Amino acid sequence: MEAECHAMCACIREGTWLMYLLGEIFGKVFSKSPVSCDNKTSVGWVMRTSVTDQSKHFRPKLYFMKKQEKEEIDVRWVPSSLQKADVMTKASGNPQFGQQRIELCVLDKP
C-alpha cells in the first residue's frame, strides 16, 4: 500500500513535468491528466483531507499529491483487471495478457 503511494507520487511528478514541457512546446494549457491506481487505500489517501498516523512518515509526498490532484491531475481507481500498466509488472494469464497487449497497441513481430 505504501509502495503504491510512492509509485503514484513518482507518476504524478513525471506527468506534471511532461504537462509543463508540452505546454512550453505547444504554447497551450492541457486539461487534467488521469492517473489510474488499482489500490483503493492509496487513492483514498490522496482524496482524503486529513493525514493519519499511518501515513505520517510519507506526509510530504501525500501533500504534494493532494495539491496536484486539485490542480492538474485526476486520480482514479480502476479494478486490477483494467489496469493497463500491470502488463509490465505482473504475471497474468494468456487471455488477460493478450487483452492488455491489445489495449496498449503492442503488436506481434511479423
Measured distance CA(104)–CA(86) in Å, rounded: 11
The per-residue pLDDT for 60 is: 74
Q: What is the pTM of this model?
A: 0.67
What confidence tens digit (pLDDT) does each residue in 45-88 have? Answer: 787 756 666 666 677 777 778 778 777 888 888 887 777 776 66
Give the DSSP letter string of 68-91.
HHHHTEEEEE--GGG-TTHHHHS-
Other CB atoms within 10 Å distance of the CB of residue 84: 13
Measured distance CA(101)–CA(84) in Å, rounded: 8
Question: So where are the chain's domains?
Answer: 2-78, 80-110
- How far CA 86 is from CA of 7, 11, 38, 78, 95, in Å, comes to 13, 14, 10, 12, 14
Higher pLDDT, 13 or 91: 13
User: Which run of H or of E encompasses 18?
Assistant: helix 2-26
Measured distance CA(42)–CA(58) in Å, rounded: 12
